[in-house]
Chains A and B, each alone.
Chain A
Amino acid sequence: MIHLLDNIIFTLLLGTGVGYFTWQVKKTIRNVKLGKPYDRTDRKNERWKNVLLVAFGQKKMFKRPIPALLHLAVYLGFIIINIEVIEIIIDGVFGTHRVLKFAGPFYDFLIASFEVLAFLVIVAVTLFWIRRNIIKLRRFNMPEMEGWPKKDANYILYFEFVLMTAFLTMNAADKKLQLLNHPHYDQAGSFPVSSFLLNILPEDPSSLVMIERSMWWIHIIGILIFLNYLYFSKHYHILLAFPNVFYAKLPPLAKLDNLESVKKEVELMLDPNADPYASPPDENEEPGRFGAKDIFDLKWINLLNAYTCTECGRCTSVCPANQTGKLLSPRKIMMSVRDRTEEVSKIIDKKGKFEDDGKSLLDYITPEEIWACTTCNACVEECPVMIDPLDIIIQIRQYMVMEESAAPAELNLMFTNIENNGAPWQYSQADRLNWVNE
Chain B
Amino acid sequence: MSELQVKTMAELAQEGKIPEYLYWVGCMGSYDDRAKKITKAFVKLLQKAGVDFAVLGPEESCSGDPAKRAGNEFLFQMQAMSNIEVMNAYGVKKVITTCPHCFNTFKNEYPGLGGKYEVYHHSEILKKLVEEGKLQPADNPFENQTVTFHDPCYLGRGNGMYDEPRNVLKGARIQIKEMPNHKENAVCCGAGGAQMFKEAENQREEIFVFRTREALELNPDIIATACAFCNTMITDGVKHYNKEKEVQVLDIAEILLRSIEK
Contacts and interface: CB of A to CB of B under 8 A. Distances in A.
B240 interface: no
Given A262-B73, A266-B78, A368-B202, 9 more contacts: A269-B78, A321-B201, A326-B200, A326-B202, A328-B201, A376-B192, A402-B73, A415-B70, A433-B55
A320 B188 contact: yes
A433 B58 contact: yes
B154 interface: yes
A374 interface: yes
A266 B77 contact: yes
Nearest to A408: B198
Given A324-B210, A372-B200, A437 B77 contact: no
13 contacts: A252-B107, A263-B113, A320-B210, A324-B209, A324-B210, A326-B201, A372-B201, A374-B190, A376-B157, A401-B72, A414-B66, A419-B75, A424-B27
Q: How many B residues are at the interface, by size bracket? A: 35 or more
B82 interface: yes
B199 A410 contact: yes
Contacts of A380: 157
Interface of B: 4-6, 8, 25, 27, 29-31, 36, 39-40, 55-58, 60-62, 64, 66-75, 77-79, 81-82, 104, 107-109, 112-113, 153-154, 157-160, 184-185, 187-188, 190-207, 209-211
Interface string A406-427: 0110110111001100111101
B185 A374 contact: no
B79 A418 contact: yes
Interface of A: 251-256, 258-259, 262-263, 265-267, 269-270, 290-291, 318, 320-321, 323-328, 368, 371-378, 380-381, 394, 396-402, 407-408, 410-411, 413-415, 418-419, 422-425, 427, 429-438
A96 to B, nearest CB: 52
A327 B71 CA distance: 19
Contacts of B158: 252-255, 377
A373 B203 CA distance: 13
Nearest to B56: A432
Given A270-B82, A423-B62, A415 B67 contact: yes
Contact of B207 (A324, A430, A432): A324
Contacts of A265: 74
A431 B33 CA distance: 13
B81 A437 contact: no
B36 A371 contact: no
Given A407-B70, A425-B31, A258 B77 contact: yes
B71 A398 contact: yes
A251 B77 CA distance: 22
A424 B4 contact: no
Contacts of A432: 25, 30-31, 56-58, 60
A415 B75 CA distance: 7
Nearest to B157: A377
Contacts of A371: 198, 201
Most buried by A among B5, B29, B78: B78
B71 A418 contact: no
A254 B191 contact: no
A402 B210 contact: no
A374 B191 contact: yes
- The 9 nearest A-B residue pairs measured at CB: A254-B158, A325-B204, A397-B71, A375-B193, A422-B61, A376-B188, A255-B108, A401-B71, A433-B57
A86 B195 CA distance: 55
A252 B6 CA distance: 33
Given A258-B112, A411-B198, A374 B6 contact: no
Contact of A252 (B31, B56, B60, B160): B160
B62 A266 contact: no
B77 A256 contact: no
Most buried by A among B55, B61, B201: B201
A418 B67 contact: yes
A270 B70 contact: no
B62 A418 contact: yes
A394 B207 contact: no
A290 B107 CA distance: 24
Contact of A327 (B113, B202, B205): B202
Given A254-B108, A320-B210, A435-B30, A266 B191 contact: no
A281 to B, nearest CB: 18
A324 B205 contact: yes
Contacts of B6: 433, 436
A424 B31 CA distance: 10
Given A411-B194, A433-B57, A423 B27 contact: yes
Contacts of A325: 202-205
A259 B206 contact: no
A290 to B, nearest CB: 7
Most buried by A among B71, B78, B200: B71
Nearest to A435: B36
Contacts of B187: 318, 320, 323, 378
A376 to B, nearest CB: 4
Contacts of B204: 324-325
Given A375-B192, A424-B27, A258 B113 contact: yes
A262 B77 CA distance: 8
A427 B211 CA distance: 30
Given A321-B207, A423-B31, A425-B31, A254 B72 contact: no
Given A374-B193, A415-B72, A435-B30, A423 B57 contact: no
Contacts of B202: 325-327, 368
B117 to A, nearest CB: 15
A368 B69 CA distance: 16
Nearest to B198: A410
B64 A251 contact: no
A252 B69 CA distance: 16
A125 to B, nearest CB: 28
A425 B27 contact: yes
Nearest to B194: A411
B101 to A, nearest CB: 9
Contacts of A376: 153, 157, 188, 192-193
